[in-house]
A = this chain, B = another copy of it.
Amino acid sequence: MARVICIGLGPGDPDLMSVRAHRLLAGARIVAYFRKAGRPGQARRMVEGLIPEDAEEWPMEYPVTTEIPLGDPAYNAALAPFYADWAARLAAAPHDVIVLCEGDPFFYGSFMHLHSRLPRDQVEVVPGIPGMAGCWTATGQPITWGDDVLTVLPATLPQAELARRIRDTDALVAMKIGRNLPRLRAALAEAGRLQDAWLVEHGTMPAERVRPLAGVEGPVPYFSIVLVHGRGRRP
């Protein structure tokens, strides 16, 4: 029986992929990846030049992305059959399928929607460096040390909840930024941490940009990350 192997690609720089992920890619006969219809897809772009020329590519194109709001029942109704269909196709593949995943597959990764639909003994996951680790390395400072508490939260949460959680942590990673930035910024200000916050766009990639958040104007990518470093809480 062929296996389905999801490999974490890490934060963006292909050199930060694991030795194992790299070797699996180099020997791949079928490579599958999610993408928005008509786009090359970020995961696919990251492995440009690393896939064997004769490997089959199976782009898994989302039937819907931002056209339907995430909370709308129609969103899940559209995606559930899409994931079920692809899980069945991957499970029946004639050779091992290497599924690409940005960052780490089990850390907010879309692969979980296939994983939950595949037989446990047929699937394997290779961890990767999460995007946030590439981003905090780009700031040139440790994110946590000593007895720091780290909170990772999606910027999609309501402002009051964001502010409460930011006030209550030593170090912070906020994900899913994009149009949620104004609310996140207001929450950081409310919690008195705006001056300590950094915005990292395209961490570890050629377009990498690291800036103090307070001075940022204008739109930022959804996959940016906002960080506040811990200060080494002592026991």
Contacts and interface: CB of A to CB of B under 8 A. Distances in A.
A235 B106 contact: no
A15 interface: yes
A205 B16 CA distance: 20
A8 B105 CA distance: 19
Interface string A1-41: 00000001011011111111010000000000000000000
A152 B152 CA distance: 8
A45 interface: no
Interface in A86-126: 104-109, 112, 115, 120, 125-126
Interface string A57-72: 0000000000000110
Interface of A: 8, 10-11, 13-20, 22, 70-71, 104-109, 112, 115, 120, 125-130, 133-134, 136-137, 140-145, 147-154, 156-157, 165, 168-169, 176, 204, 234-235
